[in-house]
Chain A
Amino acid sequence: MNATTSQAIEPETEAPQAPDLFAKFAPLVKERDNLLAAGVRDPFAIVMDEVKSPTEAVIEGKDTILLGTYNYMGMTFDPDVIAAGKDALDKFGSGTTGSRVLNGTYQGHKACEEALEEFYDMDHAMVFSTGYQANLGIVSTLAGKGDYVILDADSHASIYDGCFLGNADIVRFRHNNVENLEKRLAKLPPEAGKLVVLEGVYSMLGDIAPLDQMVPIAKKYGAMVLVDEAHSMGFFGENGRGVAEAQGVIDQVDFIIGTFSKSVGTVGGFCVSNHPQTDFLRLVCRPYTFTASLPPSVVATATTSIRKLMYAGNKRAHLWENSKRLHQGLRDLGFKLATDEPESAILAVLLPDQEKAVLMWQALLEQGLYVNMARPPATPVGVYLLRCSLCAEHTSEQVEQILGMFEAAGKATGAI
């Protein structure tokens, strides 16, 4: 039969026994309702109506300075980048409608991988559809049953999810604690395969890892080392390769994971490596294989941006100036920051609880400044913060304006 009906079909069951699957979220729903009942805006439901530049948008009709976008190098409106994207859109269409291993690899995807190989001076590059998938895929595929993944307790969700997708045994060490890393490694069976997973910059507090100490220790115990440089590509190290380059240990790193959605200014993820069999991963890495590849316009913008980032020394210098000025200025105003010194382009302003964090966040928005509000479990236990990420395109005047907004909002909410 090939019948269709316009009448709703009623289920035959009596009173249902099974609970609503949403019931498990009840405590979170209640917490959120209580927060919003206090009259504050939802920090996780902001809509940008217009975006004028890497540092300015319009939110609910108000001109707003963006200080929470990870758009570190301000490449999103670069004229060359935009021209490359438009050209690829015209020549190759709006999407590939296919997996990288079937019909979804165009000349543009290969060109993008070549740009990455040059940028990192490494033999192999694999472009994924997002940075999340790059971690998910590489961690889950490299470490199999009987192997160990040794990761920092404060690792990004994509690294944890890579662990959960795979079959390896997962061992955590205390955040950025060199001694703790060695202690854990020393306890593992010497003959077992090991992958140590580190990040250059940890995105919640903006602190950097002591890779110069950790990478050699991992090597001492025979582990392969993966470093996620998502928040450091473009402005750490002489060539912008990340914290591993800046600290002189990039040659000992087996895999670097990165993203196009921060300094590169579009979306996508990648893995670069000198391992001769890297390309084989394309066939066994499920988050690479079983998803559609990036649209041609996206890889074209990424390629152009990556090539420009190789020679972005002046931008790097200005970004560091911005980070230093904002860090000093916020401290002078009396705010508590997560790091004593500016370690990256992320500055985290610590607040005592969720209510104070949201009030401060909202007061800043009313001033015309957008920052990220973050709370556990994205942050460690009891840490509520406003995360500021600077851009190389923030002018020195904008940084002073930002400080003025923090002063006004801080005084209005009693945060300072």
Chain B
Amino acid sequence: MMTDRATTFASVKTLIEPFNAKGVELTENTTFAGDLEWDSLTVMDFVASIEDEFDIVITMNQQAEIETVGQLVDAVQELK
């Protein structure tokens, strides 16, 4: 059985896919700006989908601290 964090990680990966045009492999350490090459507008759309999926609010201030997929999963775990 997957742990709660693993479930969240899997959901986050699913939500990243529509924005992962280059098919970058997604690990804990994958970075949004560097590896996925997302610009600020893509980040905005993606964060909205995360907020809707988990019914949480991630402020722009919190977003600024999140660089990797793993950090995002941790933030979601904490906020939900």
Interface 0/1 of B5-46, CB less than 8 Å to A? 000000000000000000000000000000000011110110
* B-side contacts of A380, CB under 8 Å: 41
- Asked if A381 and B41 sit within 8 Å, CB to CB, the answer is yes
Whole-angstrom CA separation of A380 from B43 in the bound complex: 12
* B4 lies within 8 A of chain A by Cβ: no
Of the listed stretches A107-115, A183-191, A353-361, chain B binds: A183-191
Whole-angstrom CA separation of A23 from B51 in the bound complex: 34
* B-side contacts of A163, CB under 8 Å: 60
State how many angstroms separate the Cβ of B53 from the closest Cβ of chain A: 12
Number of interchain pairs (Cβ within 8 Å): 38
* B-side contacts of A172, CB under 8 Å: 44, 47-48, 60
Residues 38-74 of B contacting A (Cβ, < 8 Å)? 39-42, 44-45, 47-48, 51-52, 55-57, 59-61
Whole-angstrom CA separation of A183 from B56 in the bound complex: 9
Partner of B41, one of A173, A187, A376: A376
Interface residues on B, range: 10 to 19
- Asked if B48 and A174 sit within 8 Å, CB to CB, the answer is yes
Interface residues on A, range: 10 to 19
Whole-angstrom CA separation of A174 from B47 in the bound complex: 10
- Asked if A169 and B61 sit within 8 Å, CB to CB, the answer is yes
- Asked if A183 and B55 sit within 8 Å, CB to CB, the answer is yes
Knowing A169-B61, A381-B41, say if A153 contacts B48 (CB, 8 Å): yes
- Asked if B59 and A170 sit within 8 Å, CB to CB, the answer is yes
* A377 lies within 8 A of chain B by Cβ: yes
* A-side contacts of B59, CB under 8 Å: 148, 169-171
* A180 lies within 8 A of chain B by Cβ: yes
Knowing A169-B61, A171-B59, A377-B39, say if A180 contacts B44 (CB, 8 Å): no
* A-side contacts of B57, CB under 8 Å: 171, 184, 187-188
* B-side contacts of A183, CB under 8 Å: 52, 55
- Asked if B40 and A187 sit within 8 Å, CB to CB, the answer is no
Nearest chain B residue, comparing its CB with the CB of A163 = B60
- Asked if B56 and A153 sit within 8 Å, CB to CB, the answer is no
- Asked if B41 and A377 sit within 8 Å, CB to CB, the answer is yes
Interface 0/1 of A154-170, CB less than 8 Å to B? 00000000010000011
Interface 0/1 of A179-223, CB less than 8 Å to B? 010011001100000000000000000000000000000000000
- Asked if B51 and A153 sit within 8 Å, CB to CB, the answer is no
Knowing A169-B61, A170-B61, A377-B39, say if A187 contacts B44 (CB, 8 Å): no
Knowing A170-B59, A170-B61, A171-B59, say if A184 contacts B51 (CB, 8 Å): yes
State how many angstroms separate the Cβ of A320 from the closest Cβ of chain B: 32
* A-side contacts of B40, CB under 8 Å: 377
Nearest chain B residue, comparing its CB with the CB of A148 = B59
* B-side contacts of A153, CB under 8 Å: 44, 48
* A-side contacts of B55, CB under 8 Å: 183, 187
- Asked if A381 and B60 sit within 8 Å, CB to CB, the answer is no
Whole-angstrom CA separation of A180 from B56 in the bound complex: 11
- Asked if A170 and B41 sit within 8 Å, CB to CB, the answer is no
Whole-angstrom CA separation of A173 from B49 in the bound complex: 11
Nearest chain A residue, comparing its CB with the CB of B42 = A381
Nearest chain A residue, comparing its CB with the CB of B51 = A184
State how many angstroms separate the Cβ of B38 from the closest Cβ of chain A: 10
Query: Which of A148, A170, A172, A187 has most B Cβ within 10 Å?
Result: A172
- Interface residues, chain B, with chain A CB atoms under 8 Å away: 39-42, 44-45, 47-48, 51-52, 55-57, 59-61
Please give 11 more A-B residue pairs, beta carbons under 8 A apart, in addition to A148-B59, A180-B52.
Answer: A163-B60, A169-B61, A171-B59, A172-B48, A172-B60, A180-B48, A184-B57, A187-B55, A376-B39, A377-B40, A377-B41
Query: 30 interchain pairs (CB within 8 A)?
Result: A153-B48, A163-B60, A169-B59, A169-B60, A169-B61, A170-B59, A170-B61, A171-B57, A171-B59, A171-B60, A172-B44, A172-B47, A172-B48, A173-B48, A174-B48, A180-B48, A180-B52, A183-B52, A183-B55, A184-B51, A187-B55, A187-B56, A187-B57, A376-B41, A377-B40, A377-B41, A380-B41, A381-B41, A381-B42, A381-B45
10 residue pairs, one from A and one from B, having the closest CB atoms: A170-B60, A169-B59, A187-B57, A381-B41, A171-B57, A169-B61, A174-B48, A377-B41, A171-B59, A170-B59
